[in-house]
Structure formats: structure tokens, C-alpha cells
Amino acid sequence: MVAINPFNPAHPDYPGRPDKPSRSSYDAIVIGGGHNGLVAAAYLARAGRSVLVLEKRPVLGGAAVSEEVFPGFTFSVCSYVVSLFRPHIVRELELAKHGFELIPLECSFTPQPDGDALVRWADSARTRQEISRFSRKDAEIYPEFGLAMSKLSQFAKAIIDNPAPDPNAIRPREIAKLLRLGKIMQDFDGDTRHLNLKLMTSSAVDFLDQWFESEVLKSPMSVSGIIGTFLGVRSPGTAYVLLHHYMGEIDGAYRAWGFARGGTGGVSLACARSARSFGAEILTCAGVSQVNLGPDGRACGVVLENGDVINARTVVSAVDPRRTFFGLVGKQNLDDEFATQISRYKLRGSSGKVNLALDRFPDFTARPGDGPHVRGDIAIAPSIDYLERAYDQAKYGDFSERPYLNVVIPSLSDPSVAPPGKHVMSIFVQYAPYEIKEGPEFWPQRREAFGDAVIDTLSEYCPGLKDSILHRQVITPWDLEQEYGLGEGNIFHGELSVEQLLFLRPAAGWANYKTPVPGLWMCASGTHPGGGVMGAPGELAAKTLLRSGEL
């Protein structure tokens, strides 16, 4: 008999079960078994609290999930690469012991329409050789750029590893936080400070224009500024995300991106096993329909979709802010001002996903054959104009006919995810706006057309692709909302635009995981420091909750 895939909930060691809760009351109930919910649960359980995690779907991981979509083919269905998962979380939750393992991506491959290509390697000298074919000047300055960015990333790290500073608070803790940031700035020289200011305010393209001349280099670099956002590479405020490529830490050492073994779901399952080892209870097929409020207006538990009531001293929500407050708590239980803040919170999903099961290795015209160059990520981003045109279409309510694509073929570095000789290809697609002109509910009718646009685009660089496709799964923003619970299909639980970051995420005055509903906390990407498979919101939320003395 065939061994059951460890990501299949039927597997005996699967950390979640569709059972009944073992008790009627818990210290904390975590709504949503995504990676942030599980990280929060693990920290709370580790601190000796009784914790129950409730996941609506039969599988754990939320958007950080591996599923055997087609027999023998396991996909990182949504989130497909891991970069910023905080190393101290791996240590504190002993995730390695529970199967957390990252396989570094060695490079980034950008095939060009003219049959040429640029590959950026982890090894800078090799990258410079590649770049010098397009611009000697750019090749020379490339390391200098990397150095400057790594310097600046200290600033960004200080931000994502701490709760958001509260500019209004006069508490010593808050002032210390601000001083710490101030200190980092003071230690920068003038040029670096100016660079930091530009990084925080300008567009990815304008920022890169100061350094480089070659579009073959600038285009693929600029896209890291727009992933998951409803912005273009020329939109102010997109530059700072460039940093993430210089902050990635895998097992402590600097590396940009990596795959989790078995797919991104591997990260979530490791978190789940860790949470269990600390005594947390994890239920699947347990959708929550409502947060229960006591007579005093305090959150005192939840009602499941099947009507069961479970009590808790605190409820921690790992679903996006809008669903948390308008869906689970209910507008009628919020004061008008806060309700307005949440209704103004922008979700605006802008991306989709196409997952392919291939019966053979797909050849790229620019560099045929298997090789290290296809074991990293493959970016279809031929020019700045191409990327902006893709964005412009989305602004007016269409998906891009020629979208930006970020492609990975995990089966090349992790054979466990596909049958021998066969491959899985995961394609991240932007732009696919949630709000198409016809209205989001019409996405199902346009789903296949969207999938075709993606395959046609990629086929221009990979002619044999169509013939090698065994199965295809097309995920639109509508699907991300309906199936994975991401509001408006936003992969970050809310636009990562400056007015929704730091002390403004998700709402001014409520950026510290606490909510206006006593006993209700938030712990996912809709809170500081935002989206991505970082685990930071879950960790910071749990630590803040424990420190608050409420639990």
C-alpha cells in the first residue's frame, strides 16, 4: 500500500484532528490554524496556559499550507517561499525538532523575451559576471548596493522584531523603543540616513534608478516591492520592501529565500507539533461563527458553526481584522469610531496562484535543461513598462493579460513533493484584483481565462509548457477569500501600505494586538509587523498578551 503523505490529515501523526474539544473552557482559544495562530498558540501553551486552536478547514496552515492537490503531487498551495521566518522563534519553539527545515533558493532567474536571461546567484561575484553582460557600471555597483541595504536592514529588523512603537505613549517602555530606533539612525552616516529616508518613502523604481541603469536588472529587483500589494513598481512607498531580500535569515546565516521541506505547510505543521508538545489542543473542521461576549461585553468564548459553544478567558483571532470584527464580533458590538476605522482598513487582494503538475521538466528557451538556475525562483518581469502595464490593467478592474509571474519548481530540490521524473510548478501571479469590473463574485466565470493568460505568458519563455501539463489548479483572489478565508483575497490580511503599518495596523490606537473588545486579541498578519511567513505577529501578540497579565 502507498504511504500516506504526511501532509494528509489522515496521516496518523497529523497534528490536527476533527474532534470535539476535550474540555468546556480554556485559558485561550485561537481562531484560525494558520502559521501565526499556531505560533501564538505554541507560545501561550509554552507559558503553561490551556490553549485550543480552531481551524475551519480539514488541513492546518491557513495560507501557509501544503496539500496533495493531485495524487502524488504536493503543492505549497498559497504561500510558496519562506524568507523572514524569525530565527529566534525557530529556537524558542524548538521547531527544528518538529520538522522545520528550509532548503535555500540559490538564485533568481529572469528569462528575457529576446531569449537572453539574467541569473542573480547567492554568490555575488558570479552575479556580477551575469550583470556585466548588461551593464558594467551596474555590475561594479551591485555589491555596494547590497552592503548599503544590509546596513539599512538593521533598522527594519528592529521594527519587525518588536511591537510597534506608540508615538503617543509616555510609558518608559515605549520611549525606550523609540530611542532604540533613534539610536540606529544616529549610528548611520549622513548618506545612509538619506538612503533610509528615500527607502521608506520612494518607489522601488525611483530608488533603484539612483543605483542602476539596466532594466534587465532593475525590473526583477523592483517587483519585490509590489508582491501582494495593490501598487505598481512606480508607486511611492514600494521601495522599503526591497529590504526583505537583504533581511532573509535561514538557520541564522544570511540567505534570501528558501523552500520548506514538503512545502510551506511544513512550517505550519512544525509550529502545530510544537504547540501540541507544549500541551495545546488543535481541532480542524471547526469553523467559528461568532465570538461570544459576556454581559459585561467581554469576550468569553466562541460559537462554532455546528452550534457548539466553547468558553475561554481570552479569545485570540488569527483571521483578518475585518472578518474578526465585522464577521465574528459584529458591528453592533463596536463603537462607531472603531467600526469606521476597520471599514477604512484596505484589504484589496491583488494576486493569484496557478499550480501545475508537470509530466516532465519544463525547458526555458533562454537556458534549456535542468540546472541550478531553475532551482531558485524564476521571475517573468522583462521591463518596468511591462510591470506598470500589468498594474494599470488591475487599476481599472481587469487581471493583467501579461502579468508579473514568480515561478518555483520545488520538486527539483525536494523530490518528496512529486512522483519520480514528474514535477510541481508553483506560479505566483500579479495582478489579479479582487474587485474585477464584473464584481468579485464573477471570478469563478473568469477563473479559466485567468489561468490561460498565465500559461500563455509563461509559454513565451517556456514553449513546451502546455504539452507537459498534467493538472492545473487556478486560485483567484475570490478563491483565496472563499476557501482560505483571506479577506478580499489579500495574502497579507490587509494592504501593506504605509498608512496601514506600524502603529496604524490595523487601526490607530489598536496596533498592539489588544482590541476594543475586552478579552479579544489579534495575532495575525493584520497586525504589526504584517504579512509574510514570519511568525512575528503570532509571537509578539502572544508575548504581549502574557505580559499584559490578562492571562
Which DSSP string do the residues of 36-71 spell out, in sequence order? Answer: HHHHHHHHHHHTT--EEEE-SSSSSBTTS-EEEEET
Q: Does 504 bind another protein (CB under 8 A)?
A: yes
Q: Does 140 bind another protein (CB under 8 A)?
A: no
Phi (first) and psi of residue 363, to 5 degrees:
-85, 135
The CA distance from 99 to 409, in Å, is 21
Q: Does 214 bind another protein (CB under 8 A)?
A: no
Binding mask 382-411 for another protein (x = CB under 8 A): ---x--xx--x--xx---------------
Residue type, 327: G
Eight-class DSSP state of 2: P
Q: Restricting to residues 519-548, which ones interact with another protein according to CB under 8 A?
A: none
Q: Does 198 bind another protein (CB under 8 A)?
A: yes
Q: Does 346 bind another protein (CB under 8 A)?
A: yes
CB of residue 186 to another protein, shortest distance in Å: 8
Question: By rule CB under 8 A, what count of residues binds another protein?
Answer: 33
The region of 244-252, 363-371, 381-389, 419-427 touching another protein under the rule CB under 8 A is 381-389
CB of residue 74 to another protein, shortest distance in Å: 38
CB of residue 190 to another protein, shortest distance in Å: 5
Eight-class DSSP state of 373: G
CA 354 from centre of chain = 16
Contacts with 111 (C-beta within 8 Å, 6 or more apart), sequence order: 117, 364, 365, 366, 367, 378, 380, 461, 462
Helices 536-548 and 35-46, interaxial angle, to 10°? 40
Q: Does 218 bind another protein (CB under 8 A)?
A: no
Q: Does 193 bind another protein (CB under 8 A)?
A: yes
The CA distance from 513 to 411, in Å, is 38
Binding mask 162-181 for another protein (x = CB under 8 A): -----xx-------------
Closest to another protein by CB, 191 vs 296, is 191
Surface-to-core class of residue 543, CB atoms within 10 Å of its CB (0-12 exposed, 13-18 middle, 19+ buried):
middle
CB of residue 332 to another protein, shortest distance in Å: 22
The closest of 544, 534, 543, 545 to 36, measured between CA atoms, is 534
Closest to another protein by CB, 113 vs 115, is 113
Q: Does 419 bind another protein (CB under 8 A)?
A: no
Closest to another protein by CB, 230 vs 484, is 230
Eight-class DSSP state of 5: P
The region of 97-105, 113-121, 442-450, 503-511 touching another protein under the rule CB under 8 A is 503-511
Looking up cell 538619506 gives: 194
Which one of residues 79, 222, 235, 473 is an interface residue with another protein (CB under 8 A)? 235
Question: Beta strands 51-54 and 25-31: pairing type?
Answer: parallel
Q: Does 202 bind another protein (CB under 8 A)?
A: yes
Contacts with 69 (C-beta within 8 Å, 6 or more apart), sequence order: 75, 77, 355, 357, 471, 473
Maximum Cα interatomic distance, the chain, rounded to a whole number of Å: 70
The full length of the chain comes to 551
Q: Does 113 bind another protein (CB under 8 A)?
A: no
Q: Does 497 bind another protein (CB under 8 A)?
A: yes
Closest to another protein by CB, 237 vs 485, is 237
CA distances from 109 to 112, 169, 380, 461 (A): 10, 46, 9, 12
Binding mask 445-484 for another protein (x = CB under 8 A): ----------------------------------------
Q: Does 350 bind another protein (CB under 8 A)?
A: no
Which one of residues 509, 518, 543, 546 is an interface residue with another protein (CB under 8 A)? 509
CB of residue 191 to another protein, shortest distance in Å: 5
Which one of residues 122, 339, 498, 546 is an interface residue with another protein (CB under 8 A)? 498
Q: Does 183 bind another protein (CB under 8 A)?
A: no
Q: Does 13 bind another protein (CB under 8 A)?
A: no
Q: How many CB atoms sit inside 10 A of residue 421's CB?
A: 11
Eight-class DSSP state of 16: -
Closest to another protein by CB, 198 vs 447, is 198
Burial 155-177 (b: 16+ CB within 10 A, else e): bbbebbebbbbbeeeeeeebeeb
Secondary structure of residue 283 in the 3-state scheme? strand
Contact residues: another protein, CB under 8 A? 167-168, 190-191, 193-194, 197-198, 201-202, 206, 209-210, 231, 234-237, 344, 346, 385, 388-389, 392, 395-396, 497-499, 503-504, 508-509
